[in-house]
Structure formats: structure tokens, C-alpha cells
Chain A
Amino acid sequence: MTSLPPAAMPPSPAPPSPTPPTPPAGASGAPTGPADDAPVVIGDDTTGRSRAAIRWRRLRWPLTVFVVVALLVVFLAVVRPPTSAAPYAPDNPEQGGGMAVAEVLKDQGVRITHVTTVAEAVSAAGPDSTLLVTPNPSFFADDQVSALNRTGADLVVLNPDFGVVGGVSRNTLDSTYGEADAPVAPQCDDPTARAAGDLALRPGLTDTSTAGDDVRPVLCWPDGLGAYAYARLDFPDRSVTVVTDPAVLRNGTVLEEGNAALALRMLGQHEDLVWLVPDPMDVSTGDDEPTPAELSQVNELMPPGSAPVALIAVLAAVLLALWRVRRMGPLIVEDLPVLVRSAEATRGRARLYRAARARGHAAAGLRASTADRIATRLGLARSSDATTVVDAVVAATNRPSQQVADLLYGPPPADDAALAELARRLDILESEVHRP
């Protein structure tokens, strides 16, 4: 007996033998060999301290990165003053920003509230304050304009679109289009305008008020063609100022002519200034926000104690999630076997035939295979030629010789339908051939 190579030596004790001829019915799978020598495991050789160390080692790098990023963010936030890039924003130091005017106003003791939605503006503005609406690229909805009108604050509107012009002026003003070439005098009685002096503001307002209107606008800086750049309406409780050229506020142009004087006088009337830089996506009006009184009404609609019960439900759901999220030990991995079907080669070849419209090849394969089977069945030699096979088939089936020859050795089919028909007729022919 030759020595056993290692591959043939089973590392485990003798397995159950699939010994024929009497396969043991119950013994297959019965444990063999002593299993008691399996090792006994107590614990996983860790202590509370070592587990804490493992957790620390696992977490320290992510934690370090997180802390560094957090420190960086805090540092940048502290070092760099908050600025924005939004046009006309009070914290925008760029050419198109409004920071210059805002800083001067702050130095003069004006408290500036920077808001971006109508709702915030409505809640921040009130009587004895000024509400500035910077140029807005979008349209305000009608109810937003009326919400701005209702605040009781003095309203300063820069370069409004025509809907806003009508809305804030109670239709005593209308927009138009004008050009400004050189500075002109205000040519009106408004003290603010007179203080600013000559300005090159782009005009864009016309007076549409009639004698029946309660308050008629004061218009300044005309272009001589009936368009004005500045209008002021003094309602009994508040004033509305409309300026068509926002250059008065821009950092880049505020120092030209009397722009600064006009801006500071318009906006510095009150100690409180609400600076609205409209957000195009904003649709709020300040009306739909429930007031505390409304909030208590909503609570009255709910059954008493529903909020704490909801809280309990949320906490219970959190505990349920904690229960489900903890897996019972790790997943067990297993190498997967190769999953390639043997028939894929045949299918691929069929698709190639079809894609190339190789009906000749396909038909030849079907014919040769049928002829091969028929020849075997009729006891012909494998080397038999076509004539012998045809003669034998004719003898076995009583079909005309020409038909059999056409079927087995005819020309390739013209189209797919002909190929299918050929396959069907070959099947019929084969079924007719019986052993002689």
C-alpha cells in the first residue's frame, strides 16, 4: 500500500460511511466520533476595560475628525463677520449690497431687523418703525402687498414692480419708464428730497391720482416727460415712499451725488428699521401664522392630554426601533458558488444566429441533425451520402423523392417564417420514419 498523500487524509474522525449496498437508513447524519472534545468557550476574553479601549480605538479617528471640523466651523463663524451675497442685504459688503447705509444707520442708533419673508416683516414692523422693501425680482402677491400696508410702519419701497406701486399707493401712482442723464433738482416740496438736492435717479413713476383721492402723492425728480423718480404719500398714520432707482441704497453708488442723504433720511425716521430682502419663494403674508390666541383654539379642538400622549407614543416608537435595530449577532458570510448555466452557450449562439439572420446556418443545423437521427434510426452508416439517405427515407415514408430531398438538402429558407415552417416539416418527416 502506498503512502497516503495529505489530500486524502481526512482531518476529522471517521465520517459516517455512505456504505452500499445497504445504506443505513437512520445513521446518515448521526454524529460519529466523540464530539465532547469540542472546546468550551467562556466569554470572549474581554473585560469592561478592554471593551472600552476597543470602542475608543474604533471611535477616536471619526471623533477626532468631527471635533476638528466642528472647531473649524466655530472658528470661521467667530473670525469672519456674517456677510451675505444677497443684493441690497444689510450685511452684504459687495457693490450691490446695502451694508454701507445699514452701518451708518446703526451708528446713528437705528436698530435694523433683517428679514426675508413678508410674515417676518409683518411681525417685526409696527407703528413708529420703518419698513424697507428692497427691489424684488419676483412679484409680490396682492395679499402680501396688503399685509405690508397693514403693518402701520412707514413704508419705503425701492424699485417696485407695477403691481406693488399700485398696491402701496392706493392706485395713486403708476409705473412707467424713463431715463436719467444728468442730475436734476427735486423740484418738489418734500423736505427729504430737498435735503438730498440734485440727483441722477432713474425716473419711473407717474401721478394717476385724482382730486377725489384722500392723499395725493408728492413727486420729485421729474425727467420733464411726466415721469418722476421719487414719490411720497403721507397717510394720516404713516407715510409711504417709493423710489424707482435702487442706486440710493447700493454700496457702489450710495456716495454719488446726494444718494446717501436721501437713503439715510428715508430710513432713519424711526429708531426701528425692518429691512425686508424678499425671498422669491416666499408666499407668506403673516396672516396664516396662528397667534397665541388661535393656538389655544387649536388645542381646544384636540382632546385634552393629546400632546403628552403623542409624546409617549413617540418615545414608545423610539424604544421599538431600538429593539428592532439590534441584530442577534453578526451576519454569517458564505462564499457563493459559480452560477453559470451550461445552456447559456447554446442560447448565446441562437441569439447570434438570429441577430445575424443566419437562416442558412440555422436551417443547415436542423436539417443535418434530423438527417443524422433518421440515418441512425434507419440503420444507415454515418458516412452515408445524401442520395442514400433520401432513398432510404423515401422507402420508409412513401413520400416523393423530390420533396424529401428538398426538405433535407434543399436551399436555405428565405425568411424566419420559412425557417419555422421548415423546422415543423422536418419534425413531421422524422415522426413518419420508422424502423424498416
Chain B
Amino acid sequence: MVVTWRAAALMGLGVVPVLLLPANGTVLVWSVVVVLACVADLVLAASPRRVAVQRRVPGSVRLRSEATSELVLRNVSGRRLRAVVRDAWGPSAGAGPGRGNTERVRPAAGGSGRHHVDLPDGEAARLPTTLVPTRRGDRTAGGVTIRSLGPLGLAGRQVTLPVPGRLRVLPEFASRKHLPSRLVRLREMDGRAAVQIRGEGTEFDSLREYVVGDDVRSIDWRATARRREVVVRTWRPERDRRVLIVLDTGRTSAARVGAADSTGAPRLDTSIEAALLLAALAGHAGDRVELVAFDRTVRSRVVGAAGPRLMPAMAESLATVEPVLLETDWPGVVAQVRTRMTQRALVVLLTTLDPAAVENGLLPVVDQLARDHTVVVASVADEEVAGLRSGRDSVAEVYDAAAAARGDLERTAVTTMLRRYGADVVEALPDDLAPRLADEYLALKAAGRL
């Protein structure tokens, strides 16, 4: 049972009779009146256990986008239901205030996802709550709490019903803004553009008429001789190459990167952004994309999805990938790549260029990969460390800068080693990693190294 502020106010109103008849007996009589009113209210309140509740949640939503959790309440109590209803979600689900705006459903104060409901017997209402999730993964809803008040609003009954609800929060894919420009560059490599990029790694596409501006070197003289006009050959980039994105979900992926004054985001999130952009680009270029999230076992995997099914599969499988506080098993990664890729492929390792971790983990095995495949190691740099590097204001900051410089040197050394073993290295700040990796892919494609 619950009492409301009205009960306290009613008790406070007792001042009037007490002032008229100042005696302790008056207080007693008034208290009895208040208690009786509350009990009557309690008895007359609709039973919150006789309300049919259904929670409708969209299957999934992209991070920081809006979704609506909707409660459908049907009053089967036989009485009028006057209640405050709470649609409970965890903090990361980003539930806002209730959104209902009808005579039966109004937003209620006191927290997120609360609604005032005034429902005659036998009727139903929808209680919408806006969710703007702030964390990737599965967000699970709590119960639905119904506080049913009596006709006077003095007291009521409260119950929390276990109504299931789950919202899958997909990666934000903020890097999709870089996709149009990369697709344009992909098309430039294609035969459709007027200016041709010809070189290794392109294959003969078709013959067409010469237009002013075409490279004269691409004129096919034999075909020109057969016909009465000048004919040029067109080229297009290779297709149906295989791309394997390996997402390192080991301990180094849990560290947070970002500006010094923010909480930042885990390295893994940036890696996921880069993986999504690369997959979208490679999918459009006609390559076959696979993805493995791996630390000591396979955490998630996308295989065999192509065309319009690729990106949903990627988003879905990356939604629930979380950093694991374990050292990554790099020989295991190699074994994974070997089993997945029998022919030459582009293997993109989204990991961290942490000198100690790389020396013990990746370096001993990278040459095995680079022998059979084109390997790109992509890593997120830390904005905060970049800020430390230029600090000169105090002695402590100079030491910070020295430590950052020393770290840079070690990373450079590791990068050099990796390049010597035949791997390409892309290291960039969180916002730049996805476009840089896409550019690297385009460069490899143009060079025919896939």
C-alpha cells in the first residue's frame, strides 16, 4: 500500500478544526478521519494485478537513435483505474519522460518512463516512452510498476509486474557519413567514369567509343581498325575478392580513448565503426566480406552475407560484442584465418598497437599471415596521449610529454617491424580511423593487391 502527498495535505488540513477546538481529542478524531479516508480509498482502488500489460519494443535500434517502448494497458479490474505507471529501463537505455498526451494518459513527474493513467473499466491505452540508448548491446527492461490510487487519490496499491522487454542496440555507424565520398572514388576506379584509372589490379571490362578526355593509351587499335571509329578499352577494378575483418576483443580493446575531459569510448567501439565502414565499402565494391570477433574464442562472426543482407548481419553481430579482459590468442587468430580463407585475401586486423602486447602477441605470427594474405593492421590512437605530447606548462607536463614521446617511439618501432613483415599499418585518432582504413582499402584495390 502507498499513501500520497494528498494524505499528508489532508492531515495538515486538520489545523482548521484543531484551531476551532484546541484539544488533543480533536487531533485524535481527525487522525481517525484521515486513516478511515485512506483505508476507504485503498479499498476502492482498482487492483493493479488485474490490469493486462503488454510491452512493445522494437527489435533493435541504432545507438543514440530514438526508439519507443510502448506499454499497452488494458483495464480488466472492473473498476476505474487511476494509476501512475512506470516503464522501467536501465540507465543506458536513456528512457525519457512519458510521451502520452491524451485524456487518459499523461506524463507523470518523478522520473523517466512514468505515466498518469485514467482508464475506465474494460478500456485500453498505449503508454509510449522514448528511449535514446547510450550504450551498445542488449538493453533489458525492468518490470512495470503500477501504483493504483483510489478515487480520492489519498492512498493506493502498488505492484511491480515482470513484463519482459529487450532492446538490441546496434552500433551507431557514425562513420557512414564517409561512405558516399569513398563510393565516388570507387566508381572513379570503375569504367563508368570519364577519366580512367588504369593499372595493375584492374581487369578488362568492355570497349566503347572514344570521347575527348580519354587516355589515348587506352585506345584499342585492333578494335578501332575493325570499326570506323576510335574505340577505347575500359577497365574496372577486380571484383569478388575476399576481405576478412578480424576484430580484436581482448583486454587492450577495453581501454577508453577520447579527449581528456570526456569518459571516452572503448577502443572496440572505434574498431567497430571502422569495420562497418570497410564492410559497407567492400560490399559495394563487390568483394565478399567476412568478420570474426576474437579474443581467445570466437565472440561473433559474419559469414556468407552479401548484398543487402551484409550490413544488417554486421550490425546485428557486432551489437553484443563486448571487450573481454583476456589476452588475445594470436596463434588462434592465425588458425581462424587459415580455416576461413583458403585463397589470398585481405585480412584486416583491428587491434591496438600497444608495444608490449604486439611484441608478445602479434609480431611472432604476423609473417605467417602476410605470407598468404594481404594484411592491414589498424589501430586507434589516443587523443589524450596526443594532448600529453605537447604539454610544456609545468615540469609534470614535460615528463608527461617525454613519456608520450617515448611511447610514440616504441609504437613507431613496432610499426616498422610490422611493415618489415609485410603488413600495412593504419593508426589514427578515433574519428579518423574509419576513413583512413577505407582509404587504405581503396589504395590496395587500386594497386591490385587484393
Contacts and interface: CB of A to CB of B under 8 A. Distances in A.
Given A312-B18, A342-B385, A17 B65 contact: no
Candidate in A320, A328, A353 with the most chain B CB atoms within 10 angstroms: A328
Nearest to A376: B412
A215 B189 CA distance: 129
B401 interface: yes
Interface of B: 2-5, 7-9, 11-12, 14-15, 18-19, 22-24, 26-27, 30-31, 34, 49-62, 65-68, 70, 72, 74, 76, 84, 86, 88-92, 110-111, 114, 135, 142-145, 147, 158-166, 168, 170-171, 173, 176, 179-180, 183, 254-257, 260, 263-264, 266-267, 276, 280, 284, 298-304, 308, 311-313, 315-317, 322-323, 325, 382, 384-385, 388, 392, 394-396, 398-409, 412, 416
Contacts of A339: 256, 263
B30 A341 contact: no
A369 interface: yes
Contacts of A420: 392, 394-395, 398
A414 B112 CA distance: 60
Contacts of A41: 52-54, 144, 161-163
A347 interface: yes
Given A323-B2, A332-B89, A427-B392, A315 B317 contact: no
A333 B90 CA distance: 7
Given A12-B59, A328-B147, A332-B90, A354 B406 contact: no
A328 B84 contact: yes
Contact of B312 (A19, A329, A424): A19
A305 B84 CA distance: 38
A53 to B, nearest CB: 16
A109 interface: no
15 contacts: A4-B304, A7-B300, A10-B313, A15-B312, A21-B280, A28-B61, A319-B11, A326-B3, A328-B114, A341-B257, A350-B403, A362-B402, A362-B403, A365-B403, A424-B392
Nearest to A315: B11
A338 B18 contact: no
Contacts of A309: 15, 18-19, 22
A8 B5 CA distance: 52
B2 to A, nearest CB: 5
B105 to A, nearest CB: 16
A8 B406 contact: no
B392 A328 contact: no
A211 interface: no
Nearest to B395: A416
A40 B56 CA distance: 10
Contacts of B114: 328
A33 B406 CA distance: 53
A315 to B, nearest CB: 5
A308 B384 contact: no
A31 interface: yes
Given A16-B61, A334-B90, A372 B409 contact: yes
Given A29-B58, A41-B161, A312 B388 contact: no
Contact of A346 (B60, B308, B400): B400
